[in-house]
Structure 1
Amino acid sequence: MKDGVPVELGARTLDTLIALVSRPNEVIGKRELMAEVWPDVIVEEGSLRFHIAGLRKAMGDGRDGARYIATLAGRGYCFVAPVSRSADKAEGAPPAAAPVPGATFLPARLARMVGREEGVRTLSAQLAASRFVTVVGPGGVGKTTVAVAVAHEVLEGFAGAALFVDFGMLSDPAMVAASVASMLGMPIRSDDPAPSLIAFLRDRHFLLILDNCEHVIEAAATLAERLFAAAPQVHILATSREALRVEGEQVHHLAPLACPPDDPGLTAAAALAFPATQLFVERATASGARLDLGDADVAIVAGLCRRLDGMALAIELAAGRVGAYGLQQTVTLLDQRLSLLWPGQRTAPARQKTLQATLDWSYGLLSELERVVLRRLAVFVGHFTMEAALAIVTSPTVDQALVFGAIDSLVAKSMVATRPVGAMMRYRLLETTRAYALDIRVDDAELADLALRHATYYRRWLDRAEAEWPTLPNAAERVYRLSGLGNVRAALEWCFGANGDVRAGIGLAAAAAPIFLAMSLLTECLRWSQRAILALDDATRAGTEEMHLQAALGMSLMFTRGSAEEARTALNRGLAIAEDRGDAFDQLHLLGPLHMFHVRIGDFRSAVRYAQRSAAVAATTQDPAAVALAHSLLGIALHLTGDLDDARAELEAAVQHGPRSHRTSQIYLGFDHHSWAGIALARTLWLQGHPDQAVDRLRRTAGDAQRMVHPVTLSVVLNWAISIFFWTGDLRSAEEYMGRFIAHAESQSMGPYLAVGRGYGGEMAIRRGDAESGIAHVRGCLEELHAARYELLTTAFNLSLAQGLAATGRVAEGIALLDETARLVEANGDHSYMPELLRVKGALLLAMPQPMPDAAEACFRQSLELSRRQAALAWELRTAIDLAALLAAQGRPADARALLRPVFDRFGEGWDTADLQAAARLLATLG
């Protein structure tokens, strides 16, 4: 059926279709296909071709862009249209691998592409069959155009999960993997982000297009090979002037457009059947030239196309000049330039084989004004806006009106490419054009002035991006901001280079730091903050710029190298400057990270002090968002120290706050305090005896954090969410969130959080009876966390480890660990866990070879008293269960019932949680 109408096919034709559709996106050899369709008959290959042609005609293959069957010369046929099976939608069918969230990041497809249709079909089938294809050919042959067309052709099969990466924007091969990762919205926290990128893409059905690989070929080849081997659902389409030469690669040599032969009897009709001639005529007509080709003129066009070797870009450039110079003069100019500059040698530098000569010629046809503007536009890396061009290219000798007109002319002459983005137009110099323009010798003073204007403009761009950040609607919009960061990086490189302007670089680095933090590009944040701080002098030290740089340095150090003393020093220096300046928001900008720093190192008393200082400063601002931040910080600190009533009041005030201020959001802090407060409130609700409300708050907060696509914030939320599920006894949900947490930490290169994930895995093993394995995992986790000075979860993991030791008969060792942990709690202020620590110690005292019931009861009584003092009803219930069981075992059921029943009756929800079910069972046995 096609559109509800039966399609009439012969029996053999139908058998051919069934054989192809049964193995979609797989190349089936001709002999194999004939054996399936004619199992008992020997036929010639012409019979197969006849039925394939019939199928294509019946399905409308090739009409209105529809593609069904691809022919791979010498190999066979492949069914390339999307195929869905009804069984795929059956209930209980496993879900497909999740595509990368956000928009599809592909350049626009050309409205019409000349002479490449069969190549696109072949490449689409080849990509489906082999997963890794490199399109190889000289510069200007059309590799990128074909790659983009193939990507759009197969995009539906990837559910829109595709990314186009132009390595022409890179000058440093070491940034190849980082460029791909950053375009996917991933934070960069190590010098080699490739393992994180591989982990991120390992289970995703994804299309990755790597464009312009030739100048970073070693790095691009290494990355492509590793991705191909480790990510079995990732398809890679690369373009390069030479093969990558790595395992798994299939090379597709993209031939130039076919040109008419040098035949004296060539007619216009015959010549226009060749794609090179078609392209020339179409582009010349589009540029305003009036071509009425007769047999005599078509010979000139054919000769020109042959002279240009069928190179698409060269043909377009030549055709664009016909309107101004006429056909014959264009050929004359082209011949003059090619006779001198076209090397034609295979050993010549890649950039000078053919396109270099074409660009030389094209540059010679530009007016002096256009030449100046083109050279100045080469300062941009990647796309730029007209606003940016006018701001940077304009000078006392070239006003804005002249710049605008020159860019318009350069676009018309194909020297500047365009790309619409919504209602805005983006401009870009092709990679080879930019390299050509950069090689043109200009006055050093002019170059320095241009670079300074470039850096100054992107300093202003950063200020606008910072202001707009909280209003951006989704992660895709934030990822798009990365396109501007390429220019920021280039400007920073110049500023801190040999002939740069260090003063401008300091300001640019200070403005870039909040955006780097907000994007979790922590390695870059660390690099440029350090560089700028080292460049400070007496005139720039102790100002706003140093304050922001020290804050950024402290945060990036904290997350990339652990909570080292260097981070503390940087944050304290930033706070000192903020206090000297007297700006409340600047102080909050530092107090928030300092609060987080002390929470991470386990110094909870200091965290309370920083939170209290934040509250005092926020009260002076009259800003609701600043006050909400202070509520968050204080509530988190009070929660950790065991003051649950006050913690709940502060946290509820924080999460009830509405609109967020960008001055107190992750754009400055590096984390979202609103989400952190939400998950801390969930933990507080559980501790106070509201397990259902706790889980509801947990799931809402986790959903909000997921939608934010902010790695640091999501990690904080998932981390604490797992602990709540362990508390409620919902091990299935704990395991689900643990998987998400570990996968996230792995893909984002979060070393300490990976260790935390392994610790949670150990706790899960202990709870499920595999104590030996669990002990090993928890101990390994604690060793890593101690080395990183991440002590937030030390008490919780020590509790799990002590219970695992007891389960394996090492009760005394477990008790000693608990005693040491109690001393740490007293020293650091981590009192929220103390009732549970005392309860577990009492349970271990009863588990000793010679039980100590009196000592155990004393621990239980202390735990009950401390639970009531903290208003921690959940801890009180656990301890009451253990003490009631002890009393019942001693023959005191009435005392046991009198102890447990009042605690149990204070609960109004959560009857399916593990602790309440255990209490109900025990009460039933007590009568």
Structure 2
Amino acid sequence: MGRSLRRAGGDVPAEVTTFVGRRRELGDARKLLSSSRLVTLTGPGGVGKTRLSLRIADQARRAFPDGVVLVELAEVRSAELVPHAVASALGFRDEPSGWTAESLAERLAPTHLLLVLDNCEHLVVPCALLVRRILARAPDVHVLTTSREPMKIAGEHTYAVPPLPVPTWDDGSRAADLEQYDGVRLFLDRARAREPGFVLTEANAPHVAEICQRLDGIPLAIELAADRVRALPVEQINARLGSRLRLLTTGDRSASARHQTLLASIAWSHDLCTEPEQLLWARLSVFPSSFVVSAVEVVCTDDGLARDDVVDLLTELVEKSILVREKDPGPEARYRMLGAIREFGHQRLTDSGGVAAVRDRLVDWCSQLATEYREGWFGPGQQEWSLRLRREHQNVASALRFALDDRRPAQAMAIASDLNLYWVTAGLMSEGRHWLRRGIDESEPRTPGRATALRWLAYFSFYLGDGAEVPRHIAEARAELGPEPAAADLGYLSFVEGMAQLSGSDAHGAQAPLAEALRLFAQTDEVVGRAHVLLGYGVTQWLCGDLASAQELLRECLRITGRHVESTLHSSALMNLGMVLRDVGEPGDAEAMVLEALQLKAHDQEYIGQAMCLDALAWFSVADDPRRGATLAGCAETAWRRSGSSIDSVVALRRFRDASLDHLRAVLPERDLRSLMAAGAELSPARALAYAQGVDGGGADQDHDHAELFRPLTEREWQVAQRVAEGLGNRQIAGRLAISPRTVDAHVTHILTKLTFGNRAQVAAWVTERLRPARV
């Protein structure tokens, strides 16, 4: 029986191109196959299910005395022909009455083989019936299937084949780093097959990285892009990827028609969907990023889709590999589409004439989200709100663009204004200013919300170094308020005016408007505005030398924020009170307070606040420990860059920073100062916090150059390696770093490969060697 099977032509074909990567997937699938008699590889078209199944089958053949048989079902169109296709691949002669699931299972009963059914998605029901019968009658037959959706029968184990890992290029990336990513390795392998002289260089590496990232790590898409290298330089391929489906239209002519182009592969999946699934697919394309069920229920329903059907339809689209459900979505399930699948859906939405209605609903949903953020931010849910807005950032940006493109500036201004604290805490003030400015420029005077938008535009302007614009914006905002303005509106304008004066190094000039703002807010129940003014006024009084008043104002701010379990303003008040305590001769309490503030800022991922705290701690250290002060000053420089703002916007700190650097130049050789600051500048936010707390030597160790110390790991890999050393599993690491477990898996694999280690214990030992107590 074994020989006849292997001679029959259904055996696994030889590979004609290099098999790249997939070490983890191969291991996982082989384990599943050893413990389950039915394993289904699922995933979107072009993700590499077929190629992976063939490699798995080839590696598993020794476990099956009667061989491994491949059944290609892509071209089978009739359910009745499925048993015949399997019988033909097995080399069985025709039965007079034709093959059925029952007769085929009976014939296979005494065999011990692996049956690979490739491309089952268009025949999933007859395939499921056949497999169920075979598993029941042939106890030693194992089945490996590939499909865009599972069989959904008892005993099935599904394995979602992920895209290949791809890099994100940033300022610290190098060409040599890219080849650790399987997506890049595939691109290079196929490009060199087409153009043998193709070389990865520092010049073209960013384009190769971006090509692989924009194609979402889909092997078929990467291969099609690499096929263009013979005709176009990678810079032009990257530039033309605005429409993936039009560019990637040629491929292996020997492949099935649906695998020759990315468009054909996706169209095949579309044809397998029901009409409601196709309609939801098209409407989901309006989301440029991942999305939650509650958003889909608002944005994608009506005109043919009911809210009650959304969960079932989303589930079906996940089953058919159109959507990917994110593994660590937060409190609500999140889904995403790969870029090419989204582009295909958007084209269908455009062709149907339904774009405008879906865009309108996205804008309305984002308006409600922004309102809820403004109303819910000041309290214990602040961190959750910040994380939620970060996840929804691209969706919000699209909604703002849609509102402005569709000439709805009032709605755009309302969204951008309600999110004012998000723009600040996330280090995105320049983006917030962009949307506010567009809304103001495209609206008429007395448009609802225009005064609020103008005041926040003024606020962002002085933080971003454009203080000269502030008086004009404030004057326009006052004019917009009309003859009987509300006390809260006037209070906010006085607050912004005072903060602008403070930013312009006129602390005494800031006193009157901030005192007026405090008086106005006392007439309202606007607790957020009052807390802001107490904080700003406390800093002003400190700079004016009234330390008693400064302490009183800042402690009142702490009482209010503490009562509401608020974090952002609370940590800022802690930091500034620490500065005051330093001046009144309480350095121990001062440093403890600023360290507590830094920890809160780091937890909340608030970059401006982290920068301020690090600069304050550097100032505290320069006299007693100049080496620590220099390292912290370097940490602060990086934090300012991440924030999108500048220390120039905070005159008080800039003055202390200048004095600190003058002192450091006087006591340290210039070379040492530059080296220490550079080492501090390379520390991640987590490592900067650890160093400031004295639990990690990091850049302070003069015996090691930081850039060499952790080479060849990237910053993210170093963060993962540290968690490995703490004994955390991959899912725990994913939770700590707010990334997916799959990403952690890839990082751990890269770490083991780069360091030529065989297990996590070796990684832990290597990390431990490099972490030394701080010299404090």
Correspondence 1:651 to 2:492: no
Q: CA-to-partner distance for each residue in 1:551-583, whole Å, 9 max, x for gaps?
A: 3322333233x1431134324534555686644
Aligned partner of residue 553 in structure 1, secondary structure: helix
CA distance in 1, matches of 2:487, 2:46: 56
Maintained 8 Å contact 1:625/1:660 = no
Q: Which runs of 5+ in 1 are unaligned?
A: 1-72, 82-108, 119-136, 147-256, 299-304, 324-342, 667-671, 775-927
Q: Does 1:140 align with 2:35?
A: no
Deviation at 1:317, TM superposition (A): 3.3
Encode CA deviations 1:784-813: one digit per residue, 9 max, x unaligned: xxxxxxxxxxxxxxxxxxxxxxxxxxxxxx
Q: Write the deviation string for residues 112-146 of structure 1: whole angstroms up to 9, x where unpaired.
A: 6479999xxxxxxxxxxxxxxxxxx9962249999
Establish whether residue 734 from structure 1 lines up as the match of residue 629 from structure 2. yes
Check conservation: 2:400, 2:412, Cα contact below 8 A: yes
1:673–1:566 Cα change, 3 Å: same
Deviations 1:706-725 (A, max 9, x none): 43321122223333444444
> CA 1:518/1:582 → structure 2, altered by over 3 Å: closer, same or farther?
farther
Matched, 1:528 2:528: no
The 1-side partners of 2:668 and 2:421 are apart by 47
Q: Which amino acid aligns with 2:432?
A: C
1:558 maps to 462
Please, which of 414, 417, 422 is the counterpart of residue 321 of structure 2?
Answer: 414
The corresponding residue for 1:694 is 590
8 Å contact from structure 1 (residues 472, 478) kept in 2: no
Q: Is the 8 A contact 1:725 1:733 kept in 2?
A: yes
CA distance in 2, matches of 1:554, 1:399: 44
Q: SS where residue 321 of structure 2 aligns?
A: coil
- Alignment partners' CA distance in 2, 1:553 and 1:320: 55
What is the Cα deviation at residue 366 of structure 1?
Answer: 3.5
Equivalents in 1 of 2:454, 2:45: separation in Å?
Answer: 45
Aligned residues of 2:618 and 2:632 also touching (Cα < 8 A): yes
The alpha-carbon distance between structure 1 residues 117 and 283, as it changes in their structure 2 partners (threshold 3 A), is farther
1:625 and 1:661 in contact (8 A); partners too: no
Task: Give the match for residue 375 of structure 1.
Answer: 282
**Residue of structure 1 equivalent to 2:509:** 606
1:449 maps onto 2:357 in alignment: yes
C-alpha separation between the residues in 1 aligned to 2:363 and 2:466? 33
The equivalent position to 1:357 in structure 2, one of 264, 270, 284, is: 264
Partner of 1:762: 661
Whether contact under 8 Å (2:492, 2:517) holds in the other structure is: no
Q: Deviations over 1:504-535 (max 9, x none)?
A: 43443334444323322122112111111111
Of 392, 406, 423 in structure 1, the residue corresponding to residue 299 of structure 2 is: 392
Offset, 1:448: 1.1
Q: Name the CA distance, whole Å, in 1 between partners of 2:584 and 2:122.
A: 75
Residues matched between the structures, number = 499
Matched with 2:451 is 547
Q: SS of the residue aligned with 1:642?
A: coil
Matching residue of 2:114: 273
| Map 1:69-84 → 2, pairs under 5 A | none
Contact kept in structure 2, 1:563 and 1:600, CA below 8 Å: no
Give the partner amino acid of 2:593. Answer: R
Of 611, 617, 627, which residue of structure 2 is paired with 1:715?
Answer: 611
Shift of 1:360: 2.3
Alpha-carbon distance in 2 for matches of 1:434, 1:506: 28
Alignment partner, residue 432 of structure 1: 340
> Do the aligned residues in 2 keep the contact of 1:272 with 1:278 (CA within 8 Å)?
no
> Greater shift after overlay, 417-426 or 704-713?
417-426
Q: 1:733 to 1:578 in 2, by over 3 A?
A: farther
**1:513-912 → structure 2 map (5 Å cutoff):** 513-538=420-445, 540-541=446-447, 543=448, 545-560=449-464, 562-574=465-477, 577=480, 582-621=485-524, 626-659=529-562, 672-726=568-622, 729=624, 731=626, 734-752=629-647, 759=658, 762-768=661-667
1:19-60 deviation line (CA, Å, top 9, x unaligned)? xxxxxxxxxxxxxxxxxxxxxxxxxxxxxxxxxxxxxxxxxx
Q: 1:460 Cα shift? A: 0.9
Q: Is contact 1:281-1:291 (8 Å) kept?
A: no
Indicate conservation of the 8 Å contact 1:280/1:319, yes or no. no
Preserved contact between residue 494 and residue 513 of structure 2 (Cα < 8 Å): yes
CA contact (8 A) 2:454 2:473 kept: yes
Q: Tell me if the contact between 1:765 and 1:773 (Cα under 8 Å) persists in the aligned partners.
A: no
394 and 287 in structure 1: CA distance in 2 versus 1, 3 angstrom threshold: farther
Deviation of 1:453 after TM superposition, in Å, equals 1.1
Q: Which amino acid letter does the alignment assign opposite residue 564 of structure 1?
A: G
CA contact (8 A) 2:297 2:307 kept: yes
Letter paired with 1:759 = D
| C-alpha contact 1:513 1:548 (8 A) present in aligned 2 | no
Deviation at 1:607, TM superposition (A): 0.9
Deviation at 1:773, TM superposition (A): 12
Q: 1:345 to 1:603 in 2, by over 3 A?
A: closer
Q: Secondary structure at the match of 1:291?
A: helix
Q: 1:291 aligns with which of 131, 143, 147?
A: 131
Report the residue type matching 2:603 in the other structure.
Answer: R
Q: Distance in 2 between matches of 1:145 and 1:685?
A: 66
Is 1:317 aligned with 2:224? no
- Structure 1's 585 and 734: CA in aligned 2 closer, same or farther, altered over 3 A? farther
In 1, the alpha carbon distance for the partners of 2:420 and 2:49 equals 37
SS at match of 1:427: strand
Partner of 2:373: 465
SS at match of 1:528: helix
Aligned amino acid, residue 482 of structure 1:
R
**Equivalent pair of 2:323/2:335 in contact (CA under 8 Å):** yes
Matched with 2:392 is 484
Give the TM-score of the pair, scaled to structure 2. Answer: 0.53
Read off the aligned partner of 1:522 and give its amino acid letter: M
Per-residue CA deviation, residues 754-802 of structure 1 (Å, 9 max, x unaligned), is 987973563233441769999xxxxxxxxxxxxxxxxxxxxxxxxxxxx
1:443-470 CA deviation, whole Å, 9 max, x = no partner?
Answer: 6763212211111111112222333434
Q: For residues 771 and 610 of structure 1, do their structure 2 counterparts lie closer, same or farther at Cα, with a shift above 3 Å needed?
A: farther
Distance 2:51 2:424 in 1: 35
CA distance in 2 between counterparts of 1:759 and 1:286 reads: 76
CA 1:645–1:428: 2 relative to 1, 3 Å: closer
- Shift in CA distance, 145/517, structure 1 to aligned 2, threshold 3 Å: farther
Secondary structure (helix, strand or coil) at the match of 1:592 reads: helix
Structure 2 unmatched runs, 5+: 1-16, 35-42, 53-67, 73-84, 93-103, 155-223, 229-245, 251-259, 674-776
**1:375: Cα distance to partner?**
1.8
Distance change (3 Å), C-alpha of 1:321 and 1:691: closer
Deviation at residue 474 of structure 1 after TM alignment: 8.0
**Kindly tell me: are residues 720 and 381 of structure 1, through their superposed partners in 2, closer, same or farther at Cα, counting changes over 3 Å?**
same
Secondary structure, counterpart of 2:333 in structure 1: strand
Higher Cα Rg: structure 1 or 2?
A: 1
Tell me the CA shift for residue 611 of structure 1.
1.7
Q: Output the amino acid matched with 2:612.
A: V
SS at match of 1:375: helix
- Verify the 8 A CA contact 1:584 1:618 in the aligned structure 2: yes
Cα distance in 1 for residues equivalent to 2:351 and 2:120: 37
Provide the C-alpha distance between the structure 2 equivalents of 1:718 and 1:502, rounded to a whole number of angstroms.
39
